């Protein structure tokens, strides 16, 4: 059975994806791997909210999502950003299909905390059969992380969390977080391997901060499932080597466990 790799592309790096990033994707496809991409779009959402003069705030790293904000989030993520990324992949010779979590109930969700976060959701189910059908047809599904519940209420889902849930549902071999840095840096040096314990220490000491915190927390949650490691890689540098190695910070359950 073909290996599945779930790749989460952060909004901050989407406009900076290099030729080497797409070359790495092609190498993976050439080796028979299935690829699923989940993308963010925070900077684009922030820009559009500002243009429309809609107030927005963050609570514990998550964007508080009123119904007004949700409308903009869906418009930017499922509309503009999703189609730009699909178009870019196809221009690079990769077969891609754009989806939001609402299509075919791809991502079912429930609210995390309506009072403090509004319509921000956590994933309750992923339609993995749809994704498997698409990857079996050689497509790369490109997912905008909007979910909905059984009443049709939509939710804004943190893209790191959505990617983790998709990886678990597909029993993916690897989950990659693509960022604008080569991985976790400690005193300017790349941390090549880190355990959950090390990650928590680095958060406490302030080595891991800001937008990297939800990434590593999603990584830790993901490896509670069948995934044996999560890798933080750069979208600006080659991350898949000629011998099939993935380059970046590998986060593992515990030292020596693969």
d(C-alpha 105, C-alpha 29), whole Å: 27
DSSP state of 240: B
Looking at residue 103, the DSSP 8-state letter turns out to be G
Cα–chain-centroid distance for residue 197? 22
Cα gap 193→252, rounded to integer Å: 7
> What's the topology of domain 4-252?
Carbamate kinase (3.40.1160)
- State the pTM of this model: 0.90
Q: How far apart are CA 185 and CA 209, in angstroms?
A: 11
Query: What residues form the annotated binding site for substrate?
Result: 41-42, 63, 156
- Ordered by start, the domain boundaries in the chain are 4-252
The secondary structure of 173-223 as a DSSP string is SEEEEEESSSS-EETTEE--EEEHHHHHHHHHTTSS-TTHHHHHHHHHHHT
Q: What is the structure's pLDDT at 37?
A: 98
Residues 6+ apart with CB under 8 A from 67: 118, 119
* CB contact set of 25 (below 8 Å; sequence gap of 6+): 7, 35, 89, 92, 94, 140, 240
In the prediction, which pLDDT does 258 show?
43
Distances (CA, A) of 193 to 97, 126, 175, 207, 253: 33, 29, 15, 15, 11
- Largest distance between two CA atoms of the chain: 51
First to last CA, the chain: 19
- Give pLDDT, residue 256: 52
Separation CA 39–CA 241 (nearest Å): 23
**Of the candidates 143, 156, 163, 139, the residue with the CA atom closest to the CA atom of residue 232:** 163
Taking residue 123's Cβ as centre, other Cβ atoms within 10 Å add up to 23
H-helix segments, the chain: 19-30, 42-51, 67-74, 82-91, 114-117, 128-136, 159-169, 196-204, 212-222
Residue 151's pLDDT is what? 95
Q: Which residue has the tokens 């976790």?
A: 184
**What are the binding residues?**
41-42, 63, 156
pLDDT in tens, the chain (258 residues): 789 999 999 888 888 898 999 999 999 999 999 999 999 999 999 999 999 999 999 888 789 999 999 999 999 999 999 999 999 999 999 999 999 999 999 999 999 999 999 999 999 999 999 999 999 999 999 999 999 999 999 999 999 889 989 998 999 988 999 987 788 888 888 899 999 889 999 999 988 888 788 778 777 877 766 677 789 888 888 888 878 888 889 998 776 544
């Amino acid at each position: 059975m073909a290996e599945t790799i779930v790749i989460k592309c952060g909004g901050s790096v989407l406009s900076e994806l290099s030729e080497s990033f797409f070359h790495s994707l092609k190498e993976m496809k050439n080796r028979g791997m299935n690829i699923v991409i989940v993308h963010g779009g925070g900077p684009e959402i922030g820009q559009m909210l500002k243009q429309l003069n809609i107030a927005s705030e963050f609570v514990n790293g998550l964007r508080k999502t009123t119904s007004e904000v949700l409308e903009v989030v869906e418009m930017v993520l499922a509309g503009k950003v999703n189609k730009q990324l699909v178009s870019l992949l196809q221009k690079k010779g990769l077969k891609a299909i754009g989806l939001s979590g609402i299509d075919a109930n791809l991502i079912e969700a429930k609210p995390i905390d309506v009072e403090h976060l509004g319509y921000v959701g956590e994933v309750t189910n992923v339609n993995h059969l749809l994704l498997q059908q698409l990857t079996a047809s050689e497509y790369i599904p490109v997912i905008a992380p909007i979910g909905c519940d059984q009443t049709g209420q939509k939710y804004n889902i943190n893209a790191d969390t959505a990617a983790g849930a998709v990886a678990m549902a597909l029993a993916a071999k690897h989950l990659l977080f693509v960022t604008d840095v080569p991985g976790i840096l400690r005193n300017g040096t790349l941390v090549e391997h880190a355990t959950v314990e090390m990650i928590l220490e680095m958060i406490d000491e302030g080595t891991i901060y800001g937008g990297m915190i939800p990434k590593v927390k999603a990584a830790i949650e993901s490896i509670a499932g069948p995934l044996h490691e999560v890798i933080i890689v750069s979208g600006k540098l080659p991350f898949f080597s000629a011998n099939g190695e993935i380059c970046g910070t590998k986060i593992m359950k515990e030292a020596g466990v693969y």
